[in-house]
Amino acid sequence: MASTESLLLCCPFDYGGARVSQVAPCFGRSLRFPIWNSVHINTDSNPKNYRLRVKVQMQSNMMMKPNSDNKIPHVLTVAGSDSGGGAGIQADLKACAARRVYCSTVVTAVTAQNTVGVQGVNIVPEDFVAEQLQSVLSDMHVDVVKTGMLPSLNIVKVLCQNLRKFPVKALVVDPVMKSTSGDVLAGPSVLTGFLEELLPMTDIVTPNIKEASVLLGGVPLKSVSDMRTAAKLIHDLGPRNVLVKGGDLPDSSDAIDVFFDGEEFYELCSPRVNTRNTHGTGCTLASCISAELAKGSSMLSAVKTAKHFIEVALDYSRDMAMGNGAQGPFDHFLELKNINQSSSRQTRFNPNDLLLYAVTDSTMNRKWGRSIAEAVKAAVEGGATIVQLREKDAETRDFLDAAKVCLEICRSYGVPLLINDRLDVALACDADGVHVGQSDMPARLARTLLGPEKIIGVSCKTPEQAHQAWIDGADYIGCGGVYPTNTKANNRTIGLDGLKEVCQVSRLPVVAIGGIGLSNARAVMEIGEPNLKGVAVVSTLFDRECILTETRNLHALVS
């Protein structure tokens, strides 16, 4: 790099100047595509440079990473264009970019649509769909094909011919039949193509309850039990996995989707986000699943990550104002939003993540003969909502290596990973934050070193400590020991009363810790303090034979 003015850096995929515009103002001049993979500990007193470093470091998290075969993960979407930009090809491109995967496009139809509805549809002739497919598939390495609007039987046939000619790792079918506004996007003849040709080649099909009903000849779906039956029946039509999306199910406070892999059913729940901005969620979900599959995820893990992404995106965009119609689009670029709002950490840290806080322990892992990564994976699969690596006797190198693996696991589940005590390890692996105690690195210094984006938790036993944590710029406090514990030597027990007292003065969210398990977690959660957001536990999860089961059980108790 010759100078800051000529920082023209390579990036595998140009997806616009948006990221760049976040960085450029720091220099007051134009930069293009920063690529910066190293970790920066900020020792620079110039706040301008400091801002730049933090932001550029986040940008490196947003770049596409080659797979183990050195190829950039690539999804080809075969779908319709939505002029309003909320669904179809436009949503697919944004979703893949947000999930850091390359996306090529075969346009099957051009729609005139907005937040009010679909005003017109122009179907692309099948010969030209075939030409687009041939262009992409014959030249570029495609991992996953994702389909959206397939508006004619002949287009379905052309697609199937090309998939036979150019096999890919996975085929994800979003069986789009109607838009969110209720306009028909694919007629009955297309259904024949789905049933006879496309579904038998499909790795996962993602119907909503209306589409599932159409695929099954019109049977109504009114409950989760109906969705399970439908998932099984659709599976019998040929796809290897089925995800029936229950977002439109009436009378449910949660968005429950049923996933069936041919052997087991999984009910995937997320809180229903109260927003009008849901246009494009189906396309985005299928594209996210495709993106995760392209990166090498297993099917279930891809589905879970995609569902979590949608939940967070809807939540972030709940008040976004776009258009005058009933259904608005949402914002896919959460990470950019974080960069934009770097002065406001609360947008990044969600206090609800404290609900089930899993804290690891190397002694317990050794006792049960498992690695830190195995323990963390089981905990997040069981429903842990945040993880802290508390590896008191690990060698630095081993700790760092393990932290990197755990971070990948946690990121794939959308679960934040914090490091206990060791800021150096947190910085080196770009963890989501740290937890420090009263005799560790002072929280204020931790904030200076980690920057505004990272999560910082502080252990507090008294109202004074809680007040100081807030002044120092912490994000939450860990308060305990609520009950006696064998995990931390000489730990003072403050009881439920001590916890209440701290909660009442704390301006930060609180997670309770110390001796908490299945027998008393409920009592802790029910102390009636609104800023008590969850329980942090060590032995209840990690000093047990099956971490997954214990986490599930505790999750059920505290949710």
Ligand X SMILES: Cc1nc(C(=O)O)sc1CCOP(=O)(O)O
Task: Write out the residues near Mg ion by the rule CB under 5 A.
Answer: 421, 437, 440
534 part of the interface to ligand X, by CB under 6 A: no
Q: Fill in the amino acid letter for 24.
A: A
Q: Is 281 a catalytic residue?
A: yes
64 CB-side CA count, 13 A? 24
Q: Which does 388 bind (CB under 5 to 8 A by kind): ligand X, ligand LCLJCK34, Mg ion, none?
A: ligand LCLJCK34
- Check if the beta carbon of residue 80 is closer than 8 Å to that of residue 185: yes
CB of 350 to ligand X, least distance (A): 22
Read off the tokens for 155. Answer: 């287009």
Nearest residue to 281 (alpha-carbon basis) of 300, 241, 308, 253: 308
**What does the per-residue mask of binding to ligand LCLJCK34 show for 376-395, with x meaning CB under 6 A?**
------------x-x-----
360 part of the interface to ligand X, by CB under 6 A: no
Q: Which does 481 bind (CB under 5 to 8 A by kind): ligand X, ligand LCLJCK34, Mg ion, none?
A: ligand X
Residue 304 or 488 having the CB closest to ligand X: 488
156 part of the interface to ligand X, by CB under 6 A: no
Q: Which does 357 bind (CB under 5 to 8 A by kind): ligand X, ligand LCLJCK34, Mg ion, none?
A: ligand LCLJCK34
Q: Which of 55, 146, 245, 295 is catalytic?
A: 245
DSSP-assigned letter for residue 265: E
Query: In which order are the strands placed within the sheet that holds 254-260?
Result: 118-123, 102-113, 74-82, 144-147, 170-173, 204-205, 241-245, 254-260, 265-271
Q: Is residue 88 within a helix (H) or strand (E), and if so which, with residue range?
A: helix 88-98
**What does the per-residue mask of binding to ligand LCLJCK34 show for 512-541, with x meaning CB under 6 A?**
-x----------------------x-----
Stretch touching ligand X by CB under 6 A, among 37-45, 108-116, 294-302, 478-486: 478-486
CB of 409 to ligand X, least distance (A): 21
Q: Which of 147, 281, 485, 487 is catalytic?
A: 281
DSSP-assigned letter for residue 230: H
Q: Is 500 a catalytic residue?
A: no
* Phi, then psi, of 544 in degrees rounded to 5: -135, 160
Nearest residue to 171 (alpha-carbon basis) of 72, 259, 298, 286: 286
Q: Which of 85, 246, 282, 515 is catalytic?
A: 282
Q: Is 280 a catalytic residue?
A: yes
Read off the tokens for 298. Answer: 């297993």
Window 435 to 474, contacts with ligand X (CB under 6 A): 459
Instruction: Please tell me the distance from the alpha carbon of residue 485 to that of residue 365, in angstroms, as a whole number.
Output: 18
Q: Which does 511 bind (CB under 5 to 8 A by kind): Mg ion, ligand LCLJCK34, ligand X, none?
A: ligand LCLJCK34
Among 76, 176, 380, 538, binds ligand X (CB under 6 A): 538
Q: Is 517 a catalytic residue?
A: no
Residue 438 or 539 having the CB closest to Mg ion: 438
* Phi, then psi, of 186 in degrees rounded to 5: -150, 125
- What is the separation of C-alpha 506 from the centre of its chain, rounded to a whole number of angstroms? 29
CB of 354 to ligand X, least distance (A): 14
CA torsion 541-269-261-404 (nearest 10°) is -50
459 part of the interface to ligand LCLJCK34, by CB under 6 A: yes
Window 488 to 527, contacts with ligand X (CB under 6 A): 488, 491, 513-516
Three-state secondary structure call for residue 449: helix
CB of 437 to Mg ion, least distance (A): 3
Three-state secondary structure call for residue 431: coil
| Count, residues near ligand LCLJCK34 per rule CB under 6 A | 17
Q: Count the helix, strand and coil residues of the chain and give each as a percent rounded to the nearest 5.
A: 40, 15, 40
Encode burial over 502-531: b for 16+ CB neighbours within 10 A, e otherwise.
bbeebebbbbbbbbbbeebbeebbeeebeb
Q: Is 278 a catalytic residue?
A: yes
Residues at the site binding ligand X, with contacts judged by CB under 6 A? 359, 459, 478, 480-481, 485, 487-488, 491, 513-516, 537-540
Residues at the site binding ligand LCLJCK34, with contacts judged by CB under 6 A? 357, 359, 388, 390, 420-421, 435-437, 440, 457, 459, 478, 488, 511, 513, 536
> Catalytic amino acids?
245, 278, 280-283
